[in-house]
Amino acid sequence: MTSRRQLLKSVLLATPIGLCAVRGSGALAAATGAPRTPLDEQDAAAKALGYRQDARSVDTKAYPAWRRGQSCSTCALIEFGTARQRGCSLFPGKLVAAGGWCSGWQQRGSKP
């Protein structure tokens, strides 16, 4: 049986953006102040995790785990703050919409 963490690692390693994360490019971009761009729903990593800029538009048949109240702003993986777009550890170098959602969503305060 595959754990959620193993699944996310597999998805990230299978995408070019995941390879950047493994090499630390995302951390380098954040440390050097390099500008981050908004994550496009058509991005390979975004598609792999079912990312939607508006959590209300999630395909609940494809992602039955989605529940009302789940959004990037309530996820443990997004940067803290109040901005409408913030960094997410699943998408290094990109900004996600605070009102968005992906299948990597984790309850803030939960143990990984």
CATH code where residue 79 lies: 4.10.490.10
d(CA 67, CA 26): 29
Q: Give the pLDDT confidence score for residue 45 in this predicted structure.
A: 96
**Residue 110 covered by a domain:** no
**Residue 108 covered by a domain:** no
**Residue 105 covered by a domain:** no
**Residue 45 covered by a domain:** yes
Residue 25 reports pLDDT greater than 60: no
Mean pLDDT of the 38-52 span = 97
Return the exposure string of 46-65: e unless at least 16 CB atoms fall within 10 Å of the residue's CB, then b.
Answer: bebbbbbbebeebeeeebee
Ranked by mean pLDDT, the top range of 22-26, 29-33, 77-81 is 77-81
For 50-100, what is each residue's pLDDT tens digit? 999 999 999 999 999 999 999 999 999 999 999 999 999 999 999 999 999
**Residue 28 covered by a domain:** yes
* Number of domain units in the chain: 1
The domain in which residue 86 lies consists of: 4-97
Q: Give the pLDDT confidence score for residue 34 in this predicted structure.
A: 77
Q: Give the pLDDT confidence score for residue 11 in this predicted structure.
A: 60
Which of 27-31, 37-41, 89-93 is predicted with the least confidence, judged by mean pLDDT?
27-31
Q: Give the pLDDT confidence score for residue 85 in this predicted structure.
A: 97
